[in-house]
Amino acid sequence: MHQSTDTRRLFAAAQRDSKLPILCVRAIRDFCLMARYRSHTRQTMGYMNDYLGPFHSCLHIFGEFRASKGDRQEAARAVEELREGQGRQSTINQYFKLTSTQQAKRSLEEQQERQQVVDDILQQATFNFPKMHLLSHYGSQITDFGTLL
């Protein structure tokens, strides 16, 4: 069977994306292993800092898992508000006769709208928090105060 060019491109893009989490985890693992050295030279400090680049550039791949408790609560509140609004609309719609097909379609649209609200709120969650930023200071801390062990 002959694959189309578009199919091959999509496959290659998916393959690259599947390697990003592995690259990210390897980079942070290597950084942590370097940070544990009992003594450091400029070269080992350079290696350690070099591992942070791929780590930070690939970190976005885990974004969907970063929603905080507050983000999830905000999403739940937004869905509840939307559900209440849709409930009021359903009350109004009772005065208009809808077929079962139209009712099913409207219900599906309302469900999709609620899911879109949740997705939009959770998309805004990021990995921008102090613990990740502190990694960039390890090199200078080791230089100033010695090794971490």
**Which has the higher per-residue pLDDT, 73 or 93?**
73
Give, as one character, the DSSP assignment of residue 2.
Answer: P
Q: Residue 12: what pLDDT? A: 59
Q: Is 26 exposed, middle or buried (0-12, 13-18, 19+ CB in 10 A)?
A: middle
Q: Residue 125: what pLDDT? A: 62
* Residue 135 reports pLDDT greater than 80: yes
87-122 core/surface letters (b: 16 or more CB in 10 A; e: else): eeeeeeeeeeeeeeeeeeeeeeebeeebeebbeebb
Contact 67, 125 (CB under 8 A): yes
Mean pLDDT of the chain: 76
Q: Residue 30: what pLDDT? A: 92
* Residue 98 reports pLDDT greater than 80: no
Contact 75, 122 (CB under 8 A): yes
What number is the average pLDDT over the span 24-32? 90
The confidence band for 29, taking pLDDT boundaries of 50, 70 and 90, is very high
Name the residue among 20, 31, 29, 21 with its Cα closest to residue 136: 31
CA distance readout (Å), 33 to 23, 27, 30? 15, 10, 5
pTM for this one? 0.51
What number is the average pLDDT over the span 1-16? 56
Q: How far apart are CA 146 and CA 141, in angstroms?
A: 7
What number is the average pLDDT over the span 86-103? 75
**Which has the higher per-residue pLDDT, 64 or 75?**
75
What number is the average pLDDT over the span 37-62? 86
State the distance between the two ends of the chain, measured CA to CA, in whole angstroms: 57
Contact 23, 58 (CB under 8 A): yes
Q: HSE (CB half, 13 Å, CA atoms) of 72?
A: 6
